[in-house]
Amino acid sequence: MSLDINTKALKKNAFRVSKVRGIGASRIRVPGGYLDAKVLGMVQEIAETYGNGKVHLTTRQGFEIEGIRLQDIPEINKKLQPIIDLVGTNQTDPNTGYASSGTRNICACIGNNVCPFANYNTSELARRIDKAIFPNDLHFKVACTGCSNDCAKVRMHDFGIIGQTIPQYDPTRCISCKACIKGCKSLSVNALRMENYKVVRDAEKCVGCGVCVTKCPTRAWTRSKKKYYKLTIMGRTGKKNPRLGQDWLVWADADNIIKIIVNTYKFVEKYISPDAPARKEHIGYIIDRVGFEEYKKWALDGVELMPETIMKKCVYWNGIHFTDKAGWTD
């Protein structure tokens, strides 16, 4: 069988080339991993009509429909259109599928739709970020998590967004039961203490997780109406130098975080290696090469941080460094 298919265009269209000639997989974006249940039926229809009936739930909370014939891609793109419309993914031309696969699907934990520990609606923010940065061919990974438990493992991403709250204390509702103090000590950072039968919060130590809110039986502790976020940057896996992302901003707002992410695309466009295959180079490698101070100039362009936001002047990363001996040392 003769196949005349541009595999580069196919990959850009969010299809995967498999190890079987002429067979691939269709990748479906689900920003935040949250969708209308009717999408599941649409995925099933495509899988049974054009694939082998199997669907892989990816590590990035999307779908991958296996066993599709590459010549069926135009028809599959038409079938994907209702899914794209329901999920709300940006698109340049209807019935053409996804315009890019570079910016990866934005992951999120379940957030405060369900979880009592979450400080914000993670899927809502994930969709908002997706609208701001997709489609794009550059290799970016972004994830959102509702609290410092970090169930979404956001520190393994280029940008990790951790929900925070500034706990609000009403001493008139406090019965000095110490449930919040015990909770903070066993589940968080031990930032609460009792003085004169009232609870005192160490603001410098508090990570804004909200455990005190979940433990208080009288609602003496409540979450702040204003939403706050911690931004971790430049986490990654990979062959050469995997590492965890480090905190850069604490008590930040969503608007400025999105500006920083969008600005980082401009930074990467400027400094990405001309030898990077398929325009894929981890942002952290670029910062390592160019310097963090130069990155800050680009990332903070037009950003006006709130008075309560704390920013580290410089970020230092640790991680495994594989050498010519593959990292194995005595």
Residue 68's domain is classified under what CATH number? 3.30.70.3340
pLDDT of the residue at 327: 55
Grade residue 2 by pLDDT with cuts at 50, 70 and 90: very low
Residue 75 has pLDDT above 50, yes or no: yes
Residue 235 has pLDDT above 80, yes or no: yes
Based on the domain organization, do 159 and 242 belong to the same domain?
Answer: yes
Residues contacting residue 296 through CB under 8 Å, at least 6 positions apart: none
Grade residue 325 by pLDDT with cuts at 50, 70 and 90: low
Residue bearing the bigger pLDDT, 327 or 45: 45
pLDDT of the residue at 326: 58
Residues contacting residue 113 through CB under 8 Å, at least 6 positions apart: 34, 121, 123
Residue 323 has pLDDT above 70, yes or no: no
Based on the domain organization, do 115 and 73 belong to the same domain?
Answer: no
Taken in order 63, 67, 70, 71, is the CA torsion positive or negative? negative
In the chain, DSSP finds a helix count (H) and a strand count (E) of 9, 14
Residue 134 has pLDDT above 80, yes or no: yes
Based on the domain organization, do 256 and 113 belong to the same domain?
Answer: yes
Q: Whole-prediction pTM value?
A: 0.93
CATH code for the domain of 179: 3.30.70.20
Q: How many CA atoms lie less than 13 Å away from 83 in the CB half-sphere?
A: 26
Based on the domain organization, do 159 and 260 belong to the same domain?
Answer: yes
Residue-wise pLDDT tens digits, 274-291? 988 877 888 999 999 999
pLDDT of the residue at 329: 54
pLDDT of the residue at 238: 83
pLDDT of the residue at 50: 97
Residue 328 has pLDDT above 60, yes or no: no
Based on the domain organization, do 145 and 180 belong to the same domain?
Answer: no
Q: pLDDT over 90 for what percent of the chain?
A: 81
Based on the domain organization, do 113 and 260 belong to the same domain?
Answer: yes
Average pLDDT, the chain: 93
> Does 329 fall in a domain?
no
Mean pLDDT of 130-141: 94
For tokens 């990363």, name the residue.
Answer: 317
pLDDT of the residue at 277: 81
Two structure tokens written together for 266: 């401009």
Grade residue 1 by pLDDT with cuts at 50, 70 and 90: very low
Residue-wise pLDDT tens digits, 237-272? 888 889 999 999 999 999 999 999 999 999 999 999
Q: What whole-number distance in Å separates Cα of residue 249 and Cα of residue 162?
A: 10
Based on the domain organization, do 274 and 213 belong to the same domain?
Answer: no
pLDDT of the residue at 278: 75
Residue-wise pLDDT tens digits, 77-94? 999 999 999 999 998 899
> Does 322 fall in a domain?
no
Q: Total structural domains in the chain?
A: 3
Domain containing 196 equals 168-222
Mean pLDDT of 194-200: 95
Q: What whole-number distance in Å separates Cα of residue 42 and Cα of residue 112?
A: 27
Based on the domain organization, do 129 and 155 belong to the same domain?
Answer: yes
Q: pLDDT over 70 for what percent of the chain?
A: 96
**Which secondary structure element, helix H or strand E, spans residue 57, and what is its range?**
strand 55-57
Grade residue 177 by pLDDT with cuts at 50, 70 and 90: very high
Q: Out of 14-23, 133-142, 160-169, 204-213, pick the least confident.
A: 14-23
Residue bearing the bigger pLDDT, 324 or 72: 72
Q: What whole-number distance in Å separates Cα of residue 112 and Cα of residue 134?
A: 24
